[in-house]
Amino acid sequence: LRGREDIINIRQKRTRISKEKVKRAIHYVRFLKLVPFIKSISLCNSLSFNNAKKSSDIDLFIITQNNRLWITRTLSALLLMALGVKRRKGRNIDPDRFCLSFFATTKSLNLKQIYQESFDSYRSFWIANLKPLYGTRTFRRLIAKNIWYKKELPNHQHKLTKTIPGKNFLGFLRFMVEKFINLFGADLIDKWLYGWQSKRVIGGADWDEVGIDIIAERQMLKTYAHAKREYFREKLKERLKENLKTI
């Protein structure tokens, strides 16, 4: 493109950086998959687009069992903190650390419900570029629930690579821990954690972002503010208008 001759070199550099970050993500997801009630873990945002910078963190999209999101979030955060790889609060730039930015339960897999704009190419692109690392079966359910994205990307096909296995001895131990937590009133625990933590999420957010960029519900949690969805939608509209003028 005229005036953007350096874009190829930038893209190649970011692809190399992304590959290294994916290796790091796979290493730590082997631990994270042991957290009770996790059904699927995927890479999202810049890393899943192969467009990460050295300064980029690692964003995860996690699907949990129904009514277990807030238990899962708490245990996941504690584990990543213990490993020293959780993104630190208040830091806009925290390279190679993990950001637990988006959770949904198996009851809330249709992501279209959270967007008010009928034209949202960024969200379709976001879904198309998710990279599942664990829980292929649940990930397939996610795609089936969001097949609407094919209206904007009709030729896209998810190429599912080999993911981290879950059926082993450690997987059995996780199953037993889930049973143990359920015996001690998992529904009440999750509800209490939701009431406590959701207030902190909403309380620290800009009210203009609550409901789209910031969501804290029993079955869905989305915490990354200033999402680029609006920016890319407006840019695409501008490009389309420019192209129409040349026809």
pLDDT value at residue 92? 82
pLDDT of residue 237: 63
Give the model's pLDDT for residue 200.
Answer: 87
pLDDT digits (tens, 9 = 90+) for 49-87: 999 999 999 999 999 999 999 999 999 999 999 999 999
Q: Is 245 helix (H, G, I), strand (E, B) or coil?
A: helix
Share of the chain above pLDDT 90, in %: 60
Strands lying side by side in the sheet with 220-222: 131-134, 38-43, 58-64, 98-105, 220-222, 215-216
Residues 6+ apart with CB under 8 A from 91: none
Rounded to whole angstroms, the Cα distance separating 14 from 11 reads 5
Query: Which two structure tokens, joined as six digits, stand for 119?
Result: 């034209």
What's the mean per-residue pLDDT of the chain? 87
- pLDDT at residue 2 is higher than 60: no
pLDDT at 235 over 50: yes
Supply the pLDDT for residue 121: 74
pLDDT, average across residues 182-205: 90
Q: How many helices (H) and strands (E) does the chain have?
A: 7, 6
Judge whether 135 and 38 are in contact, CB under 8 Å: yes
Question: pLDDT class for 207, splitting at 50, 70, 90?
Answer: very low
Helical (H) or strand (E) element with 100: strand 98-105
Burial of 125 (0-12, 13-18, 19+ CB in 10 A): middle
* pLDDT value at residue 227: 57
Out of 29-43, 51-65, 149-163, 202-216, which region has the weakest mean confidence (pLDDT)?
202-216
Closest alpha carbon to 235 in 89, 125, 141, 127 = 125
d(CA 213, CA 219): 15
Type of residue found at 112: K
Helix, strand or coil for residue 38?
A: strand
pLDDT tens per residue across span 7-28: 888 989 999 999 999 999 999 9
| Number of residues written out for the chain | 247
Question: For residues 97 and 20, what is the distance between their CA atoms, to the nearest angstrom?
Answer: 13
Place of tokens 């869905």: 220
pLDDT, tens digit (0-9, with 9 covering 90-100), for 121-179: 778 889 999 999 999 999 999 999 999 988 888 888 887 777 888 778 888 999 999 99
